[in-house]
Structure 1
């Protein structure tokens, strides 16, 4: 399988890749060709073995690297005030500046965009409130727990009021309880802000819990080998984690992922 089903109308598409590949100067073929469409407001996870090109795909979408071939289209932002599309990126590590406050870390994208101070402060306060860090605006990163640092990183991605949120294994280094809590908080933010989320993870369980679709990738060069739609009407909560439906989806995703670790690709 090389593609994921497209949303029915072009207006519904937030991200579209067609025949995209990435070959590094060293000659390593990291990705593709890959065809992928993600609808506006959709939550999609990319799942695959290490080195399969998941992070590369995010970097291409974010404009941090260029495809070697193929086309990549990002929809314009669906709302005012600023024209163009807005993409937020949450990396594997929080990447906070240790010498300045949480408020200043979160406000960095607005500072770089020369947003007026009063407008920036309003946006920063809103982003901190969305991730539950209002009381820690003046704290320094060294005073935060791992989960709180990741919340600050998420607030920094949200402060530009992004339409598209790219997340590269943001919770991988956290303990299980913190990870579950942040999964729940992320879903609540996604619902309230109507963002498009593309989430990279190594965890079958996390991908099923969070996503509307799980896209499984082959080993390098990464291609899409399977798509599993998570059609769960029940709320995503502790009861869902314990349900037979959740276990069934996890089994399906695990079965789809297995060939990537044995060298047999489903095409």
Structure 2
């Protein structure tokens, strides 16, 4: 049985400019699973992730963010990866990915060795001393992924982390993320049904302030679907989003 905690959120309530996004929203995601969250623009997907991460203040003090059994999460229990890489321009690659350990005053040779190993895996070893403005968009996103992985957090929240890169780089980052986050519980926002089908164990749609469980896929990730399977699932997802009829 996995020792990785799942994620449980209870009583999430949030408004934006006096418009309710969701009220008393509660859900549980199983340990060591990858869940994708879809929804129309402005429905509150990113706000929900920021609320879970502690980056937004809830409308009510009753919000509870725990593991799947209702137990408190460990310190530094949640890692956050935003759509934009948010690299610090005055730091080089190595210093950017070890910034968390530096801020916690825990940076040591073990952390440095882990960082070097990650850069090797991400094909960035020769860029360790480079500044962000010397990197391509795909390289910057790989650095952001490495920084996320350096956080000792069993739960990872990702807000459209691959939307700013080209299709080839996105596919490469999908494969790397699935491998390197295999022992974490991941919740990711995406606008792309195909990306959700490729990455997730579970797919949810946020609409009218409610979460709808849309699909559960079991098997190897990234999922390699036949054209027929993919098209049928995409049509179903789009119909639920209100896009096209199945």
- Classify the secondary structure of the residue corresponding to 2:168: helix
Q: How far off its partner does 1:105 sit?
A: 0.7
Deviation sequence 1:58-117 (CA, Å, 0-9, x none): 1111111232234322239xxxxxx53522111110111122210011111111101143
- Cα RMSD after superposing both structures: 2.5
Q: Output the CA distance in 2 between the equivalents of 1:106 and 1:86.
A: 18
Q: Which residue is 1:4 aligned to?
A: none
Name 1:17's counterpart in structure 2: 9
Q: State whether residues 13 and 38 of structure 1, in contact with CA within 8 Å, keep that contact through their aligned partners in structure 2.
A: no
CA change 1:12–1:151 in 2 (3 A) is: closer
> Which structure 1 segments of 5+ residues have no match?
1-10, 77-82, 262-267
Distance 1:13 1:32, change over 3 A: farther
The equivalent residue for 1:200 is 189
2:51 to 60, 68, 75: 60
Moved more, 248-257 or 159-168: 248-257
**Deviations, residues 197-248 of structure 1 (Å, cap 9, x unaligned):** 10100001101110011101115xx3213421123x35536xx244433333
The alignment covers a number of residue pairs equal to: 238
Whether the 8 Å contact between 1:87 and 1:165 is mirrored in structure 2 is yes
Q: TM-score of the superposition, structure 1-length normalised? A: 0.80
Name the SS of the counterpart of 2:88 in structure 1: coil
| TM-score normalised by structure 2 residue count | 0.86
Contact 1:12 1:39 in 2 (8 A): no
- Distance between the aligned counterparts of 1:226 and 1:235, measured in 2? 19
SS at match of 1:22: strand
Conservation of the 8 A alpha-carbon contact between 2:198 and 2:221: no
**Counterpart of 2:106 in 1: which secondary structure?**
coil
Structure 2 counterpart of 1:225: 212
Is the CA contact 2:98–2:107 (under 8 Å) kept in the aligned structure 1? Answer: no
What corresponds to 1:171 in structure 2?
Answer: 162
